[in-house]
Structure 1
Amino acid sequence: MSVSPPVPSFPAPTGRDAALCFDAVTVSYRVRGATRDVLHALSLRIAPGEAYGLVGESGCGKSTVALAAVRYLPAGGRQTGGRIRIAGQALDTLDAAALRRLRAHTVSMVYQDAARALNPSLRIGVQLREAFAAADDAHAADTRAAAMLRRVRFDDPARVLACYPHQLSGGMQQRVVIAMALATQPALLILDEPTTGLDATVAADILDLLREIRREQAIAMLFISHDLAVIEAMCDRVGVLYAGELVEEGTVAAVLHGPRHPYTVGLLRCLPHGRRRDGQPLETIPGALPPIGTRPAACIFADRCTLARARCRSDAPPPYRVDRTGDATSHGIAADAGSAPSDAPEHTSRCHYHAEAAALPPIAASAPLAPSHPASAAPDVGRAASPALRVTDLSKTFDTRDGSFTAVERLSFDLWPGETLGLIGESGSGKSTLARLLLGLESPDAGGDIAIDGERVASRVTQRSARQIRALQVIFQNPDSALNRAWTVRRLVARAIRALEPARPWHGWRRADALARRAARQRTLTALLAAVRLPADVLDARSAALSGGLKQRVAIARAFAGEPRVVICDEPTSALDVSVQAAILNLLTALQRQRAVSLLFISHDLDVIRYLADRIAVLYRGRLIEIGPLDDVLAGPRHPYTAQLLAAHRRGGGNPGSAAGAPVLAQDSRAAAEATEAVVAAVAAVAVAPPAAPEAPAAAHRRMDGPGCAFEPSCPLSLGARCRDVAPPLADLTPGHQLACHLPVAELPGATS
């Protein structure tokens, strides 16, 4: 279990002295001629200098809170009740000029997608200088822009100022957006999912930067995220939002380690704790959010709650104040002598039966999964069976105006039938390039080879047979980009079935044959949609109208339409909230076991990798530096870069511990926590020197073509000339566990003496 930092005692602020105050705020959208509430009488306060986390499923209204706070609601949205104050100023009393001054000097916002927040046609310098000019500092804009980039840890500001956004990595773009937000020296900083999609080291750097800025400038922060670990690591207090209503609120320690609302308990239990166990899926929250504008008169969570009783469907629960022992009184009534002082942050829960929430039975009694593939699916160096996928000496070199660089260098590995291989590494390490090479979307350099079930496949997808295309499929990170928004779900999946079905010999056109094929496709469609658990009422809906979780289910259905042998999963859950993530992971696990499919699972989330993978492979700047059984890699000894990734994950928070936990995985959770503590202790020297972030694309690979170890410039355990001049081979540490490092085993991070 990760340890939360001490929580400052922030007295509950009044509306006029709060950095941000929502007082019974209702926000509505105009949908098809009807007014529908998205936020309902929402009240929350953030004290100056306080970090407040807001969590909940997608569609709960988190982003609407952020947009309402700066009066950026889209067309059709408006505040229909209550009052919002920022630093004591009521927004509804400000004219347009005063609102612009407020945005220029008092409040700033960092959006989820940094690439979309930056103008792709303007250089970074132009955009950053505009931010300072908006803050009435146009004359010193050039000097301050460079200074602010140094402030957010760029070593060469002049080079960054000359770049266009697409020339920077995701983490660098996010730091530029933060620099623009800080240009106004705001009293309140709103961050909407600022680390989604970033790798562990970059996310940890961003969080460290935000902590440092908050400490130095005493900025209040509203931190919106579906990542509960980030909230635990960054925030003092947390509010849990459900269907536009705050159902639980309190200090991070109280809410995440002692939740008193069934919805909060459900969110925490959806997290992957420790290793997957056969027959035990992740818990999920049954049902779905109520449709916008259809609020029940009583408890809004009753339809999804296993604690719900008659009272929950007749009386709306008030925000009960929970004391340290778990007892509570209605909000506003004096608490017991054991409760917290009146000026301390309260722990409140909108649940009539909050005292029972901590001992809540499983939220969803999911059916056990189908029998797993045999334990021997993990690699056995002496096995005679052919791997499902064999990659040999695969490389890819790109030519740019700044010269050529090698994105993937001589990669070799096997993926066995029914196995899940987790692939990790920083952004720019070559993970997505490897996926594109395997799919035939990029041509590898000469000398590499890809084989499926022992059969060599062509390098380009256009040259592969239909059977080879069926055998290797992909699930992309962003289903919005992978699905035609104008097509219905039925058409999207049916097209994949038709395109991937085995070719049949031509015997002339016969109506009976056409009807038989159509009936067979319909049976396949029905079975496939049932397998991915898509409700029947969405089949005729267009993908643009679906939630993120439903879109990802459609993408999974397409990938499995041709009975593949290998499925490449490229960050399929990174943008999903924890409840949807748990459902998708359960679905992938069930499909894998039912169909004996091998998964190459690419992810930045080490908790997901630890839960799902049989083996783990680590890429660094295109080179495979470690591969082995998951338990061996996590237990150590391990490569210094692997140790840095684990330490960065720890800095970013890791999965939050909870008294509500996951009972079936309690033993694994304790073991995982002990292993994590051992990692931190063993790699303390490594963790303090994260890899240097490059300032330009050419610099990102300046060591790729050198003779030595690619990690040597960032490795605190470097042996000097030997590491610089001689590339370490990928050698056996133990049977099945290989790593590329010159260090003796006893000196590797995590090694035991």
Structure 2
Amino acid sequence: MNGPPPSPPASFPAFDVSKSEQSDALTIVGLTVTYRTRGREREVLQDVSFRIKRGESYGLVGESGCGKSTVAMATLRYLPRNGRVKAGRISIAGKEVHSLDAVALREMRANAISMVYQDPSRALNPSLTVARQVSEAFEASGATYDEALTRTAEMLRKVRIAEPERVMDSYPHQLSGGMQQRVVIAMALASQPALLILDEPTTGLDATVEAEVLDLVAQLREEFGTAVLFISHNLAVIGRMCERVGVLYAGKLVEEGATQDVFARPRHPYTVGLLRCLPTSDRSKDTDRLDTIAGSLPQPGSVTQGCIYAERCRLADDRCRREAPPPYRVKSQYGDQMSRCHYHERAMELPRVTALHASDDASDDAPSDVPDNARSAHDHSPVLRAENVSKTFHVPGATLRAVDDVSLELAKGETLGLVGESGSGKTTLAKLLLGLISPDAGSVIELDGARLPPRVTNRNDDQVKSLQIVFQNPDSALNRAHSVKRLIGRALSRLSSLHGPARDERLASLTQAVRLPDRYLTSRTRQLSGGLKQRVAIARAFAGDPRIVVCDEPTSALDVSVQAAILNLLADLQRDRGVSYVFISHDLHVVRYLSDRIAVLYVGRLLEIGPADAVFNGPHHPYTEALLSSVPTLDGHAGEPDETRDNSRTQRIRLSGELPSAASPPSGCVFHTRCPRKLGAICEQQDPPFTDAGDGHRIRCHIPVDELRVLQRRD
């Protein structure tokens, strides 16, 4: 936040701070923010009002582009040059933000408010040690250099960093993502701020690290009495962390109330739609199609009459398109609930999207051009087999065993989910299957029973086309300079059998299959939303009729509405084309929804593999048990009446210590250094064999399966 602060807007209204506002950590009243683009001002926030009490946690949810981060930037008075506060007021701990001069504003940013961003690696200076960066935060609050170093070590202990002195001497790139995020939180809490803003702080983290970070925020919030504004598209995280929640849509707050009220009985169709998009523990691709929200966000300032959600709402009528709904307020179980919907009492009656018209930002489902004989469920014959696959990296001073003796099979039309913490070897294993890196000697990878050359450069055209990948971030995989038509067309050009009209026909069928409207074919990827970019990436991967597609975190950066549409699309393409997936994700709800079988990796070792229901329902390996216990959930069926909700909760299992290094993995059972169910010396000395839990479910643990079943039922 360098440079002079922007001047207060000339039109900013004067007001007297009330006693209630003085007792609030944050008060926002009637906030309207505009961005000037192409010579025209567009309202990105319209009349937004909410308040956060001292020590309270408030969640702000909505799709990308709804204005969540703009609220944070306006609160910090750090809008970009083309942005301005057109109307409204913001006060922090009783002080009006836009009335402060440069010195007072700098002091407020240093002492009263802190922010934690989504990507910790971008918030940390790669050229400075952790000690220097964290101590600067204390020095900004008036501490001497020596005092700052002492308090830095203390704060790193508070954020559960073991050996803080060692970490202080480290540079950011030497730390894991979870460690980096804890360092950023330590910096944010150095001043014991009245308000902490968290903008998607756990998006890229594993389930266990995410749970640790959330536990940490809750603990420190209680200790320091800090209020929290939690911005996230992960509704389960909001449900766990926040007492109250506000739902933003196209710059307007369309619903607000106690989190338990809003999530149990939402009163706005948009909130109902968001909750129904979520994959839950009792849903799978074979039994239940995810709901989606049709259409897309309107352009800022484009809706001048009626309800801003009317064009996407299946309850909307002429009144909705004619009259903008006021904020209706009702008494709910845990407090007042506000909804900007004329029919808020009927919001729960919102018709569900059916398989006949389940699309989000495209046209209705297009019929596939795939012949009927291709539409078959997986027949259990292995299309891909990996046996005793290992990968060792040799780096200066160390030998890293990233994948260690992994064997698995993938059937035709099947999805195998790969789960485990960052550094467990998931992506390395995927690259080995694709031939992007070579495995160690003795590793065997077969396609349809024929051995694959280790490197993709030595595979023939049919083998290359048979295995494709969809990356987590389509921006890094798609050339921004090319049109959508050229990106997909280049993939089709590798098919020697397709020329001229045949290729155009195939291009059209692909875009229909991924529900990408023709109007986007001439667009550059920079002009597309995240969901549309991922559709382009999927169409390109399917251009050569692949047998197997590796999906590496394909939905982690997407909103829940776009995620639901992509998951439905992957399920449809699998059903229509008989393709198999290797699906990598940190989100275990997503993995369970899409996967037929699950493989659990830890420090390169396969600890458990089996049918998805068996792995999730137990008995499971103690590591799997810890992963599952770390996942935040919206209990039962979000968006359904209370009587259908299952309020059971799994006790959170906290794993001690960090993931061991692949350069020096533990002896015996690789998990014994963190295992809460460790038996003793046998775990330290002997590598456990796989034991059969039935129906192809295998667990690598010294504890007998029946005993694991009893222990896990008891807990």
Query: Secondary structure at the residue paired with 2:556?
Result: coil
Alignment of 1:394 onto 2:393 = no
In structure 2, the CA distance between the partners of 1:373 and 1:538, relative to structure 1 (3 Å rule), is: closer
User: Residues of 2 paired with 1:640 and 1:715: CA distance?
Assistant: 7
Give the counterpart letter for 1:403 in structure 2.
A
Matches within 5 A, 1:553-572: 553-572=535-554
User: Residues of 1 paired with 2:102 and 2:455: CA distance?
Assistant: 56
Match for residue 479 of structure 2 among 484, 502, 506: 484
Alignment of 1:223 onto 2:218 = no
User: Residues of 2 paired with 1:451 and 1:75: CA distance?
Assistant: 56
Alignment of 1:632 onto 2:614 = yes
TM-fit CA distance, 1:367: 4.3
- Alignment deviations for residues 192-227 of structure 1 (CA, whole Å, 9 cap, x no partner): 011102111110101100110111111000000001
Range 58-67 or range 727-736, more displaced: 727-736
Identity rate, percent: 56
Query: Secondary structure at the residue paired with 2:21?
Result: coil
Partner of 2:340: 350
Matches within 5 A, 1:107-118: 107-118=113-124
Alignment of 1:701 onto 2:686 = no
Match for residue 595 of structure 2 among 613, 626, 632: 613
Work out whether residues 239 and 249 of structure 1, in 8 Å CA contact, stay in contact via their aligned partners in 2.
Answer: yes
Partner of 2:35: 29
User: Residues of 1 paired with 2:669 and 2:437: CA distance?
Assistant: 26
In structure 2, the CA distance between the partners of 1:223 and 1:216, relative to structure 1 (3 Å rule), is: same
Partner of 1:723: 683
TM-fit CA distance, 1:191: 0.2
Partner of 1:65: 71
In structure 2, the CA distance between the partners of 1:749 and 1:120, relative to structure 1 (3 Å rule), is: farther
Give the counterpart letter for 2:214 in structure 1.
L
Partner of 2:13: none
TM-fit CA distance, 1:279: 7.0
Alignment of 1:745 onto 2:710 = no
Query: Secondary structure at the residue paired with 1:552?
Result: helix
User: Residues of 1 paired with 2:587 and 2:85: CA distance?
Assistant: 37
Match for residue 634 of structure 2 among 640, 655, 670: 655
Q: Give the TM-score taking structure 1 as reference length.
A: 0.87
User: Residues of 1 paired with 2:126 and 2:709: CA distance?
Assistant: 42
Give the counterpart letter for 2:500 in structure 1.
R
Work out whether residues 265 and 348 of structure 2, in 8 Å CA contact, stay in contact via their aligned partners in 1.
Answer: yes
Give the counterpart letter for 2:44 in structure 1.
V
Work out whether residues 24 and 83 of structure 1, in 8 Å CA contact, stay in contact via their aligned partners in 2.
Answer: yes
Give the counterpart letter for 1:308 in structure 2.
A
Give the counterpart letter for 1:200 in structure 2.
A
Matches within 5 A, 1:180-329: 180-273=187-280, 274-276=282-284, 278=286, 280-324=288-332
Range 50-59 or range 137-146, more displaced: 137-146
Q: Give the TM-score taking structure 2 as reference length.
A: 0.91
- Alignment deviations for residues 267-294 of structure 1 (CA, whole Å, 9 cap, x no partner): 1111113232547421111111101221
In structure 2, the CA distance between the partners of 1:277 and 1:459, relative to structure 1 (3 Å rule), is: closer
RMSD value over aligned CA atoms? Answer: 2.3
TM-fit CA distance, 1:365: 6.2
Work out whether residues 425 and 619 of structure 1, in 8 Å CA contact, stay in contact via their aligned partners in 2.
Answer: yes
TM-fit CA distance, 1:75: 2.9
Work out whether residues 284 and 364 of structure 1, in 8 Å CA contact, stay in contact via their aligned partners in 2.
Answer: no
User: Residues of 2 paired with 1:277 and 1:552: CA distance?
Assistant: 19
Matches within 5 A, 1:433-472: 433-472=428-467
In structure 2, the CA distance between the partners of 1:399 and 1:123, relative to structure 1 (3 Å rule), is: farther
Range 279-288 or range 632-641, more displaced: 279-288
User: Residues of 2 paired with 1:463 and 1:375: CA distance?
Assistant: 31
Give the counterpart letter for 2:484 in structure 1.
V
Alignment of 1:522 onto 2:508 = no
Give the counterpart letter for 1:63 in structure 2.
S
In structure 1, the gaps of 5 or more residues are 1-11, 325-339, 380-384, 505-515
Match for residue 692 of structure 1 among 657, 660, 665: 657
User: Residues of 2 paired with 1:691 and 1:739: CA distance?
Assistant: 22
Range 243-252 or range 474-483, more displaced: 474-483
Query: Secondary structure at the residue paired with 1:637?
Result: coil
Number of residue pairs aligned between Structure 1 and Structure 2: 682
Give the counterpart letter for 1:188 in structure 2.
L
In structure 2, the CA distance between the partners of 1:631 and 1:375, relative to structure 1 (3 Å rule), is: farther
Match for residue 404 of structure 1 among 399, 405, 410: 399
Matches within 5 A, 1:501-516: 501=495, 503=496
User: Residues of 1 paired with 2:132 and 2:462: CA distance?
Assistant: 51
User: Residues of 2 paired with 1:709 and 1:703: CA distance?
Assistant: 13
TM-fit CA distance, 1:689: 3.7
Work out whether residues 13 and 45 of structure 1, in 8 Å CA contact, stay in contact via their aligned partners in 2.
Answer: no
Partner of 2:57: 51
Alignment of 1:595 onto 2:601 = no
Work out whether residues 245 and 257 of structure 2, in 8 Å CA contact, stay in contact via their aligned partners in 1.
Answer: yes
Work out whether residues 376 and 576 of structure 2, in 8 Å CA contact, stay in contact via their aligned partners in 1.
Answer: no
TM-fit CA distance, 1:732: 2.3
- Alignment deviations for residues 307-329 of structure 1 (CA, whole Å, 9 cap, x no partner): 111111111111101223xxxxx
TM-fit CA distance, 1:61: 0.6
Work out whether residues 401 and 663 of structure 2, in 8 Å CA contact, stay in contact via their aligned partners in 1.
Answer: no
In structure 2, the CA distance between the partners of 1:223 and 1:752, relative to structure 1 (3 Å rule), is: closer
In structure 2, the gaps of 5 or more residues are 1-17, 359-364
User: Residues of 2 paired with 1:717 and 1:19: CA distance?
Assistant: 43
User: Residues of 2 paired with 1:452 and 1:283: CA distance?
Assistant: 35
Give the counterpart letter for 2:698 in structure 1.
Q
User: Residues of 1 paired with 2:259 and 2:423: CA distance?
Assistant: 34
Partner of 1:8: none
In structure 2, the CA distance between the partners of 1:346 and 1:363, relative to structure 1 (3 Å rule), is: farther
